[in-house]
Amino acid sequence: MRRYDIDALRVILFGLLILYHVGMFFVPWDFHIKNSVTYRWLEFPMLFLNQWRLPLLFVISGMGTFFNISRRNGWGFTKERFVRLFIPLVVGMLFVVPPQVYFERLDAGQFTGNYFEFWPSMAFTGGAYPEGNLSWHHLWFLPYLLIFSHLLTPVFLYLRDHPQAWVIRKTKKLVAGKFGIFMLAIPLILWETQLRPRFPSTHALVGDWYNIFNYSTLFFYGFLLMTIKDVLWENVTKNRRLYLITGIITFALLMFLWYGVKWFPGKGDVSNSVQAINGWAWILVMTGYAAAHLNKPSRILSYANEAVYPFYILHQTVMIVLCYYLKDVEMCFFTKFSVMVIGTFGISWLIYEFGIRRYAWIRPLFGMKRNEKK
């Protein structure tokens, strides 16, 4: 049975991705192009989203994989994953990401000239970004998901064919209790305390061990939790308010540890542990409230769910172009932020609706099924 709440969460998360990336233009963190004025207070909502936005996306991807593999054999699944992930990645690296690098080089004074002088003569030279110009930028999610999917296919097939496997029975017992489901956070705590300090996030795949272990675990959890079906949905729906309180408390504690306490022995491990628990709590909160309120079909959801993947591929390039031309324009934060968000959504929609969605031969290049719009 299709879970419309999973579709809705997927749409919400990619909508938040656009808001988050626009926020990166204004927050005092490193980004491809920065606004002429940055805002320190914006760090807190951005940090809040950081705790659960990407982790939940990998969980949802694992949940979607459960439905995907249930109607295919192993070869059919790996082939479908290759087509849906690798082809858009290549298209994105060839045609969607290079404009981002071009405008970043213009902004940094590292290149002068028009885009057609940059591409292809320079877009793929000098090796990997940031030293060179070849990059997958925001599309890093695709190679990670592709590799996780292929490596875990034997495990997924085994769990699909053995619904009484020990790990499924054990997970069902843990999830049946209010706080037993937090036992699943133990590996996440290990990755936070042992790997994150040694392997800072790079999204470069090679050597990015913290992200590899952390996100592959969350991806596996998504699949595993779907194997117990109603036990999960009953738990997160029934206890969503309790998990919300847990998320609020742990996030407040995390902010206190980061900003309110200078140092004490073991502070890093404590804050990393709290961060892992906080992120897991918000994953439960979001899935619980979505299950309670969003598990219903609608035409808007159907349209948005199909549009999500092309929007993900397109949005950052549109946004970077807007950033370049608006960075020195004098506007208050809320006006410029609104212009950026509306412009990114609007231009991405125009490209999607009139340049991708209606053409059967273009659709697969952006991860969509080939069938033409009726």
- Render each residue's pLDDT in the chain as its tens digit; 374 residues: 789 999 999 999 999 999 999 999 999 999 999 999 999 999 999 999 999 999 999 999 999 999 999 888 889 999 999 999 999 999 999 999 999 999 999 999 999 999 999 998 888 888 899 999 999 999 999 999 999 999 999 999 999 999 999 999 999 999 998 899 999 999 999 999 999 999 999 999 999 999 999 999 999 999 999 999 899 999 999 999 999 999 999 999 999 999 998 888 889 999 999 999 999 999 999 999 999 999 999 999 999 999 999 999 999 999 999 999 999 999 999 999 999 999 999 999 999 999 999 999 999 999 999 875 44
Kindly state the DSSP code that residue 263 receives in the 8-state scheme.
Answer: -
What is the rounded CA–CA span in Å between residue 263 and residue 260?
Answer: 9
Whether a cis peptide bond, with omega within 30° of 0, leads into 120 is: yes
Beta bridge partners of 128: 134
Q: Which two tokens stand for residue 303?
A: 């349209």
pLDDT score recorded for residue 374: 41
pLDDT score recorded for residue 158: 96
- Contact assessment for residue 181 and residue 174, using Cβ atoms and an 8 Å cutoff: yes
Cα 236 from chain centroid? 21
Contacting residues for 131 by C-beta, under 8 A, at least 6 apart: none
What is the separation, in whole angstroms, between the first and last Cα of the chain? 25
Contacting residues for 153 by C-beta, under 8 A, at least 6 apart: 69, 74, 77, 78
What is the rounded CA–CA span in Å between residue 4 and residue 301?
Answer: 8
Q: Cα–Cα distances in Å, from 290 out to 3, 157, 230, 276, 316?
A: 10, 28, 14, 21, 27
What is the rounded CA–CA span in Å between residue 254 and residue 214?
Answer: 19
Only one residue has tokens 């694992």, namely 62
- Contact assessment for residue 77 and residue 89, using Cβ atoms and an 8 Å cutoff: no
Contacting residues for 198 by C-beta, under 8 A, at least 6 apart: 209, 210
pLDDT score recorded for residue 372: 52
Kindly state the DSSP code that residue 371 receives in the 8-state scheme.
Answer: P
pTM across the whole model:
0.95
Amino acid at the residue 125: T
pLDDT score recorded for residue 144: 98
Query: What 3-state class would DSSP assign to 223?
Result: helix
What is the rounded CA–CA span in Å between residue 239 and residue 232?
Answer: 11
